[in-house]
Structure 1
Amino acid sequence: MADAQTANLCTQIILSQFGPLTAKVASILLTRGRLTLSRIVHLTSLKPRTVSASILVLVQHNVLWHAKSGEGEVFEVNIEECLVRLRFGRFVWQAGQLFGDEGAQIVQLVLDHGKLRPPDIISELSYGDAKLEAVYTQAIHSLVTASYLKPSTILSHISPRDKRIRYENEEKAKINGFPTAKELREARETAEARLKREEEEAEKVGLKRKAKEQNGPRSKRKVVEEEDVVDPTVYFRVNCEKFNIHIRNTLVTKAAKERYNEGAAVVLQATLKVTESKQKNVSDVRTEPVSVSNIAVSLSDQEGLASGLVLKTKNPSNTACIKDYLGMLSSADNPTMAGRASAFISFGGSKVQVEFETICKRLRRRVLESVTRERHGTEGVRILRLLMDTGKMDEKQISKVVMVPPKDVRPLLALMSAESLISSQEVAKSSDRNPSRMFYLWHVDLPKAYSVILGNLYKTLYNIGVRRQVEQEEPMLRAVLEKRERTDVSQDEQGLMSRLELDMIKEWEGKQEKLTVLEMRVEESVFILRDLAVFEY
């Protein structure tokens, strides 16, 4: 069951992509939690056949989980899978950058259908052309090998929370007597390891070994070799985690460019590129160690690295420039706690590792500070940074340190507390807990602050979708768009449409572009707060 803002946004996404009937079924599941088919039919007042078809569509597109319970088979909305649909356009673009037009077409087709088998993908895109079949077969093999497509199994349709609870109960049943805290912790760890092992084994289903016969060059005997081929009987779906890695790496590179310069961003991007194949998901604490020579090889054709540095030598080598940039990114000139907290990489000896945990915490804090600056100005940011660095403080201490008069600090603290950017802690002077005899200490509750900001971002995304829908449903514009879709008009828009109609379409496209750009910016903040929230606060 989701909160109001998340439920509204998910319903709006499903409405725009699957229609009103499917959105009605999803809305009931989002507000009521997991339900059986009979309960969904009763609450939606739809025909059982319509509800079954809607559920089938949502399961096909991985938006619904289903599981067995005492009441029968129950259904539950996979909220993360629903929200990630806002990034599908970016996934297709990224696939095109990595695997060309063929990879983009395959990813788009799989996203349109939820999950597909390789023969179905090839037959849909090749139109019976043998050359195109070979090209798309190779593209599918590359996508599966690089884990951009992953197999869809029965386990992927069951909520991980249900499997985790079941595995924990099985481990607890093996304990004799009253379990201790250590035994309960070991049971949870064993259940988590079992769940992770099952997921890794399920992802290996898509490839199988096949014998390949080749004639030896100097022998008449046939040499039998084995190669990995894509299993044609397995259904594949898009691995969103793999595409999220590219979004995270782009944000990290962008942060380095804003902090230092273009050269530092290029070196950091090359470091990430070298280890990209070994990055599995956004929960990686850091990258695999990579040597400076590997980074230098990937930047061998890069020119102008020295332009971002002030050096004594006139023509320094690329390797020397890379080492200087790595020293900057690792905060080698500031070997303190503050320096390590602001570093992008750890550079020890000749090995380099990008510290995702440190960077992601800093990115999330930057979002919190930007929201505070927008609503409460620089004084609010100074108070926020003070409380995050020092912990709990009372009003008089805050006023003295941030150098703001008490008469201005008091209302500002109240406003920031009302928006959950900061929180208060009551400390009683006496046992009767009289409000007049209490200390009130202010502090930053990061989980609460991030949760409230994330809810506001969901509300903004929902409002953007509603605004787009309202703009498109305007009667005159709708008539013009319907005329534009006619076959004869689409072939000659300039000749068969009036100047007024063309101006209306141009104005509407401009509004759509602005709303899309705004949606991408808000979604980027959502990615930082939700998808990068895999580390401790």
Structure 2
Amino acid sequence: MVSPHGVKLAVYLISSFFGDHNAKVIECLLNRGTLTLAQILRFTELSRENVRSCLLVLIHHNCVQALAIQQEGAFGDAPKIITQYMALFDNIIHRMRFPKFIEMVSQELGKECEGIFEGLLQHGRLSLNQILDRHKQMASQGDSGKDAALDSFKSLVNARFVERCPAPEPFIAPPSDDETPAKKRGAKAGKMAEVTIEQRALEAAAPMESLRFLVETDSWNDASDKESNKKTNDIAVGGKRKLDESELLAKDESKVLWRVNFEEFIRRARHKACIANVKARLNDEAAIVLDAILELSRSSETKVKVDNSASLSINSIYDAVIKKEGGLGMDFERIRAALVQLGCETPLIPIDESYSIDLKNIIELARTEEVEPIVLKRYGREAYRMFRLLSKASRLFLTDEVSDATFVEKKDAVKILLGLWKDDYVEMKKIIVRGTSQSEQMLWSVNKQSLWRHVLDEMYHAALNLRLRITHEIEQEKETLQMPREKLTGELSIKYKRLMKVRIALESALMNLDDAIMLFHDF
């Protein structure tokens, strides 16, 4: 379930990119869940034509996924297939991160790949023909330029920055009576949980792993793409377009559409954040070892779980470490010491000495370190000490215990703890103690999962406020921005410089805040 301010931020992003009608459809889907076309019409009170147009645009830009389900007929009628639509909240929020994704591509693959990648971000989904022809038009190059663009596109696919689009409308069969609940992805063995229809739809829509990053170059010049290429080429850079239903849903199986693989960017961002946290919390050597292990995990053919790295031998770790900057002088003993710092246990069988890193634990520590300064700034140093005590323990504390451990008078401790409880930073339970006289005691703890959700919602709220402030500042000086640069003199020049300074500060703060949002939501 998306938090209230998360919904508001997503709706604002869609409104900024695609207009108010699309935002209204997204708001309806985020608040009410997966809906049919008829339900969306009823709740949004928009016309059928407007809703269909909005859904097509949102599907094309990877913000909505359609799915087909079987619905039982009434009064003996045969079952019928109906189409429902679900909002993809994560993909909507990723639109804030486009500059970060572009920077990653530029640093790793260069400007040529960056141009192709920007086209996919701008248009959502494109066929290979559309990608190559768009690049040819923008670069004003001949066939040799098209060949270079094809090589750049293959580089993007090989780096997993780009993937084939999911199926436009997967069919979700109703579960049979004797079918056991499916295991949740990433759950520990033995723990069973019901998988939602939305999860089933995303899994059914995803292309097979063997096809997901397969480029079939023998079909990239299919003549069936010529008309759609012409439509793409007629669009100015930065412009928006609406495609007809056949283009957007790509019913023709011979036409392969490609999109940005957000999952890969988030994985790289997760690894970068973990390395930075280890470097600040432990030392450079532990960060070098972690970097080497994660790089080996990325290149491994084995699909690695989100919360752990691949299991790697000490020899392969050593070979990767000495190739890193600062790792050349590290021997096996220093690497083993760093692995112990990272929470790895010494193997019982020395012959098969292999290690894996618990990323989940690193991320949890990073989240705690992100929240602690918030508590310190809002509630003071005494509250900060209490919060640290409760967050690092796995038990409930009596008020007296908190007071004694943090050297705070009980009266003040109760006041501070109640303030933290009121703002959802700690949890409180009351118990009745029976003895010579009956008394009521308060027990205190930190529920981290509940706290992470609360902090994340506050971050969504702050991100929305920052985006609104940036928009307000630009709107205030709209006339100044529209004037030619050579006419910006005197007072106008001062206004322009002030706007640029404020805008850079606000956008920098927003990017830093988004790093924290990824830590609590995407990692």
Return the TM-score normalized by structure 1.
0.76
Q: CA deviation at 1:2?
A: 4.0
Query: What is the aligned counterpart of 1:116 among 118, 126, 136?
Result: 126
| Residue matched to 1:58 | 58
Give the Cα separation in 2 of the matches to 1:514 and 1:194.
Answer: 41
Give the Cα separation in 2 of the matches to 1:521 and 1:501.
Answer: 30
Give the Cα separation in 2 of the matches to 1:280 and 1:482.
Answer: 50
Query: What is the aligned counterpart of 1:418 among 408, 422, 438?
Result: 422
| Residue matched to 2:474 | 472
Opposite residue 366 of structure 1, the aligned amino acid is E
| Residue matched to 2:367 | 364
Mapped pair 1:528 → 2:519: yes
Q: CA deviation at 1:13?
A: 0.8
Within a 5 Å distance, the mapping from 1:77-226 to structure 2 comes to 77-127=87-137, 129-154=142-167, 169-170=175-176, 172-174=177-179, 199=206, 201=208, 204-207=211-214
| Residue matched to 1:256 | 278
| Residue matched to 1:235 | 257
Within a 5 Å distance, the mapping from 1:325-340 to structure 2 comes to 326-331=336-341
CA RMSD of aligned residues (A): 3.4
Q: CA deviation at 1:233?
A: 3.1
Q: CA deviation at 1:263?
A: 4.8
| Residue matched to 1:245 | 267
Query: What is the aligned counterpart of 1:404 among 408, 432, 450?
Result: 408
Contact 2:289 2:339 (8 Å CA) reproduced: no
Opposite residue 287 of structure 1, the aligned amino acid is A
Contact 2:390 2:445 (8 Å CA) reproduced: yes
Contact 1:88 1:111 (8 Å CA) reproduced: yes
Give the Cα separation in 1 of the matches to 2:95 and 2:354.
Answer: 38
| Residue matched to 2:221 | none
**Farther-moved stretch of structure 1 (349-358 vs 14-23):** 349-358
| Residue matched to 2:75 | none
- Whichever of the two has the greater Rg, that structure is 1
Provide the aligned length of Structure 1 versus Structure 2. 457
Query: What is the aligned counterpart of 2:506 among 507, 512, 515?
Result: 515
Mapped pair 1:73 → 2:83: yes
Q: CA deviation at 1:202?
A: 5.6
Give the Cα separation in 1 of the matches to 2:29 and 2:192.
Answer: 34
Mapped pair 1:289 → 2:312: yes
Seen in structure 2, the aligned counterparts of structure 1 residues 274 and 2 have a Cα distance that, compared at 3 Å, is: closer
Q: CA deviation at 1:199?
A: 4.2
Q: CA deviation at 1:325?
A: 5.1
Q: CA deviation at 1:194?
A: 12
Contact 1:296 1:318 (8 Å CA) reproduced: no
Q: CA deviation at 1:378?
A: 2.9
Give the Cα separation in 1 of the matches to 2:308 and 2:340.
Answer: 16
Identity of aligned residues (%): 21
Query: What is the aligned counterpart of 2:491 among 478, 500, 515?
Result: 500
1:14-43 CA distance string (max 9 Å, x none): 111112232233223333433333443444
Seen in structure 2, the aligned counterparts of structure 1 residues 482 and 344 have a Cα distance that, compared at 3 Å, is: farther
Contact 1:329 1:345 (8 Å CA) reproduced: yes
Seen in structure 2, the aligned counterparts of structure 1 residues 325 and 7 have a Cα distance that, compared at 3 Å, is: same
Contact 2:289 2:338 (8 Å CA) reproduced: no
| Residue ranges of structure 1 left out of the alignment (5+ in a row) | 176-183, 212-230, 306-316, 332-342, 431-435, 484-488, 533-537
Seen in structure 2, the aligned counterparts of structure 1 residues 101 and 347 have a Cα distance that, compared at 3 Å, is: farther
Give the Cα separation in 2 of the matches to 1:408 and 1:67.
Answer: 56
| Residue matched to 1:217 | none
**Farther-moved stretch of structure 1 (144-153 vs 29-38):** 29-38
| Residue matched to 1:392 | 396
Aligned to 1:364, the other structure's residue is in SS state: helix
Q: CA deviation at 1:94?
A: 0.7
Opposite residue 36 of structure 1, the aligned amino acid is T
Q: CA deviation at 1:447?
A: 1.6
1:57-102 CA distance string (max 9 Å, x none): 1111111122346594332321111112211111111111222112
1:204-239 CA distance string (max 9 Å, x none): 25526789xxxxxxxxxxxxxxxxxxx983111111
* Larger relative contact order, structure 1 or 2 (CA cutoff 8 Å, min sep 6): 2
Q: CA deviation at 1:133?
A: 1.6
Query: What is the aligned counterpart of 1:380 among 348, 359, 383?
Result: 383
| Residue ranges of structure 2 left out of the alignment (5+ in a row) | 72-80, 181-189, 219-252
Contact 2:309 2:358 (8 Å CA) reproduced: yes
Contact 1:92 1:107 (8 Å CA) reproduced: yes
Contact 2:311 2:354 (8 Å CA) reproduced: no
